[in-house]
Amino acid sequence: MKEKIKEFMESNFLFEFNDEVTEKTNLFTEGYMDSFGFIELITFLESTFDVKFQADELTGNKFGSVEAVIESLKSKGISDV
């Protein structure tokens, strides 16, 4: 599932994970994802993992990196990532 998330990010945000851009990289502050890209990411996560995030769950940079996304999914009870 982690690979699926990374694949989504790579193909939708036009970059590749490597030594410089890693699972820890904040894609927001490093300029790979903008607020519209963020909406696309949330839509993808909601449909792929069958979850629904509330507005207050989307604040505070909880989806900036692959690691953060996986933590957020875990907090929703999805741990098979």
Partner 1 sequence: MCEVLRCSKCVLSESFPGIKIDKHGVCNYCRDSLSLDEMNTTRDELKAKMSIAIDTNRNISEYDAIVAFSGGKDSSFTLKMLVEKHDLNCLAVTVDNGFLSDKALDNCRAITGSLGVDFMLFTPAPDFMMNMYRQSVSKDGKKLINRSALKRASAICNSCINLINNVMVKLALQHNCRIIAGGYIGGQIPSGAAVLNIDLLEREGMKKHLKDTYQNLYGKKADKFFYLRNDELKKYNPDKPLIVINPMLTLAISEEQIIDSIKKLGWVKTTDTGMNSSNCKLNDLGIALHYKEYQFHPYEAEIAEQVRYGIMDRQKALDKIKTIPQFDKLDWQMKKIGILINNE
Sole binder of partner 1 in the list 1, 31, 71, 74 (CB under 8 A) = 31
Residue type at 47? Answer: S
Q: What are phi and psi of 20, to 5 degrees?
A: -90, -40
The tokens describing 21, both together, are 């851009």
Sole binder of partner 1 in the list 3, 18, 20, 35 (CB under 8 A) = 35
* 15 contributes a contact to partner 1 by CB under 8 A: yes
Residue 36 or 74 with smaller CB distance to partner 1: 36
> For 57, which DSSP code?
G
- The DSSP H or E segment spanning 7 is helix 2-13
Positions that interact with partner 1 (CB under 8 A): 8, 10-15, 28-29, 31-37, 39-40, 43-44, 47
